[in-house]
């Protein structure tokens, strides 16, 4: 457990080293018990201070841009690449780094095929199935720009030996199994020509209660039918799930009618944008989230306000046992995945410190200030 009182200053992203190790053990064990290879997707977790540890558990990493590819290439033996559309000025450099390259469309593959050399080439497909309810995170929503549909892929273009699907988001094992079944239904006519099938991310194998046995059985059954096809998973969230927090401090208490808002030194708009995009209310240690339709019950009700000028930079409401006070530290749970990678410096708000908590003590990895802000715009 992270002792936030030992963190020097806030806001701070604090990674629990032991929790990351536990997740990596789950992933390593799964690779040993099932015919599957894991890759780390940098779009979900790019804290490279711990990449040497992650690299011991997986074969490689997946990048969606040249910047990610260059970073991944520093730490991992194998780099895969996928982008919804590659930038022409970046693609030749990406192609030199990546062992596997996935294209989002047949036309894009045709455009770049002469740049490729010895890479394994895949097309992203749309399996027309997703359990994701929020369209913002649903790659298979009607009219999706992501992936080739079955009706447009009666045969594989020359040189393509892989398929890539990504249709899940923090999903369960039965959804992974259903995805495999759906792909086989729609694209099974291509399987004889395949050497690999990448099932993308969203497989939350490290979440408590996740049915590893269901996923393992589905992977083994598929492998028994198609032993020549290598299966790949590339989650980002699963590596960093429940491995760390964002620690903030209350700067002020603002009252407007019956509404009390605790003003924080962090921002939902700049440091936790998923909270406003999804939207969702993050868990706060020692507090209960009040649902709009529920009776709050006993306790101290308060909203949490962010540090930016955006009017909607707030979430809530929460119920605390005791009144929230100025100077109090609040802990936002599970803030390692898809959080650090999305931060901005709107309003000139500095990015949170990055800290690793190991053996009972915090180590500051990175602190951001004026130089980082100034370097972003000229």
- The CATH number covering residue 164 comes to 3.20.20.10
If asked whether residues 222 and 252 sit together in one domain, one would say: no
Q: How far apart are CA 233 and CA 250, in angstroms?
A: 40
**Is 28 a member of any domain?**
no
Which residue has 């699963």 as its token pair?
238
Q: How far apart are CA 176 and CA 32, in angstroms?
A: 18
Mean pLDDT, residues 247-253 taken together: 98
Q: In the predicted model, is pLDDT for residue 291 greater than 70?
A: yes
Q: In the predicted model, is pLDDT for residue 292 greater than 80?
A: no
If asked whether residues 253 and 235 sit together in one domain, one would say: no
Q: How far apart are CA 66 and CA 78, in angstroms?
A: 15
Residue that finishes a domain, picked among 189, 216, 240: 240
Residues 6+ apart with CB under 8 A from 370: none
CB-CB neighbours of 370 under 10 Å: 9
Q: How far apart are CA 75 and CA 54, in angstroms?
A: 9
Helices vs. strands in the chain: H and E counts, helices first: 11, 17
Q: In the predicted model, is pLDDT for residue 184 greater than 90?
A: yes
If asked whether residues 280 and 131 sit together in one domain, one would say: no
Tokens in use for 276?
Answer: 């406003």
Distances (CA, A) of 186 to 95, 122, 182, 218: 29, 16, 6, 17
Q: In the predicted model, is pLDDT for residue 147 greater than 70?
A: yes
Which residues constitute the domain of residue 84? 34-240
**Is 22 a member of any domain?**
no
Mean pLDDT, residues 331-340 taken together: 96
pLDDT band at 118 (very low <50, low <70, confident <90, very high): confident
Tokens in use for 165?
Answer: 């699907």
- Residue 248's SS3 state is strand
If asked whether residues 235 and 303 sit together in one domain, one would say: no
Identify whether 123 is preceded by a cis peptide bond (ω within 30 of 0): no
**Is 23 a member of any domain?**
no
Give me the pLDDT at residue 378, please. 85
Give me the pLDDT at residue 294, please. 61
If asked whether residues 198 and 319 sit together in one domain, one would say: no
If asked whether residues 230 and 250 sit together in one domain, one would say: no
Percent with pLDDT over 90 in the chain: 94
**Is 21 a member of any domain?**
no
CB-CB neighbours of 362 under 10 Å: 20
**Is 287 a member of any domain?**
yes
CB contact burial 266-275 (16+ within 10 A = b; e otherwise): bbbbbbbbbb
Residues 6+ apart with CB under 8 A from 273: 342, 343, 344
Burial class (CB in 10 A: 0-12, 13-18, 19+), 181: middle
Rounded to 5 degrees, φ, ψ at 284 are -120, 130
If asked whether residues 217 and 280 sit together in one domain, one would say: no
Q: Do residues 157 and 123 lie in contact, with contact meaning Cβ atoms separated by under 8 Å?
A: yes
Give me the pLDDT at residue 295, please. 62
Give me the pLDDT at residue 119, please. 84
If asked whether residues 209 and 258 sit together in one domain, one would say: no
Pairing of β 12-16 and β 244-256:
antiparallel
Q: Do residues 303 and 261 lie in contact, with contact meaning Cβ atoms separated by under 8 Å?
A: yes
Residue that finishes a domain, picked among 240, 261, 294: 240
Q: How far apart are CA 182 and CA 218, in angstroms?
A: 12
pLDDT band at 117 (very low <50, low <70, confident <90, very high): confident
If asked whether residues 93 and 200 sit together in one domain, one would say: yes
Structure pTM?
A: 0.95
Give me the pLDDT at residue 7, please. 97
Residue that finishes a domain, picked among 196, 219, 240: 240
If asked whether residues 179 and 284 sit together in one domain, one would say: no
CA angle 175, 176, 181 (to 5 degrees): 95
Helices within the chain (DSSP H only) = 17-33, 51-55, 66-75, 91-97, 106-112, 173-187, 212-225, 237-240, 268-271, 274-277, 370-376
Tokens in use for 48?
Answer: 């490279």
If asked whether residues 234 and 355 sit together in one domain, one would say: no
Q: In the predicted model, is pLDDT for residue 163 greater than 70?
A: yes
Instruction: Give bridge partners of residue 16 from the DSSP assignment.
Output: 357
Question: CATH number of the domain that 291 lies in?
Answer: 2.40.37.10
Total structural domains in the chain? 2
**Is 19 a member of any domain?**
no
**Is 209 a member of any domain?**
yes
Which one is predicted more confidently, 294 or 182?
182
Task: Report the largest interatomic distance among the alpha carbons of the chain, rounded to a whole angstrom.
Answer: 67
């Amino acid at each position: 457990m992270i002792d936030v009182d030992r963190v020097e200053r806030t806001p701070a992203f604090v990674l629990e080293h032991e929790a990351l190790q536990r997740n990596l053990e789950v992933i390593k064990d799964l690779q040993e018990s099932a015919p599957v290879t894991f890759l780390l997707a940098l779009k979900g977790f790019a804290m490279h201070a711990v990449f040497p540890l992650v690299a011991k558990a997986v074969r490689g990493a997946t990048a969606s841009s040249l910047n990610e590819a260059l970073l991944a290439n520093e730490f991992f033996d194998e780099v895969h690449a996928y982008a919804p559309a590659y930038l022409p000025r970046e693609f030749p450099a990406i192609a030199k780094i990546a062992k596997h390259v996935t294209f989002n469309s047949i036309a894009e593959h045709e455009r770049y095929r002469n740049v490729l050399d010895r890479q394994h080439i895949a097309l992203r497909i749309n399996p027309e199935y997703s359990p994701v309810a929020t369209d913002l995170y649903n790659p298979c929503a009607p009219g999706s720009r992501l992936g080739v549909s079955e009706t447009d892929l009666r045969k594989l273009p020359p040189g393509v030996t892989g398929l890539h699907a990504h249709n899940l988001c923090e999903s369960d094992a039965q959804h992974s199994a259903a995805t495999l079944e759906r792909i086989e239904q729609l694209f099974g006519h291509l399987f004889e020509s395949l050497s690999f099938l990448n099932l993308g991310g969203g497989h939350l194998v490290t979440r408590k209660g996740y049915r590893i046995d269901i996923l393992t059985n589905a992977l083994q059954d598929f492998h028994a039918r198609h032993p020549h096809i290598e299966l790949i998973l590339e989650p980002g969230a699963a590596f960093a799930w429940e491995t760390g927090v964002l620690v903030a401090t209350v700067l002020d208490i603002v009252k407007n009618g019956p509404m009390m808002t605790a003003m924080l030194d962090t921002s939902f708009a700049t440091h936790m944008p998923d909270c406003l995009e999804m939207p969702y209310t993050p868990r706060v240690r020692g507090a209960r989230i009040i649902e709009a339709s529920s009776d709050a019950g006993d306790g101290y009700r308060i909203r949490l306000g962010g540090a930016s000028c955006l009017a909607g930079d707030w979430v809530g409401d929460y119920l605390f046992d005791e009144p929230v006070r100025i100077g109090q530290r609040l802990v936002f749970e599970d803030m390692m995945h898809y959080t650090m990678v999305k931060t901005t410096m709107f309003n000139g708000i500095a990015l949170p410190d990055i800290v690793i908590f190991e053996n009972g003590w915090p180590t500051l990895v990175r602190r951001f200030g004026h130089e980082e802000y100034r370097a972003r715009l000229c």
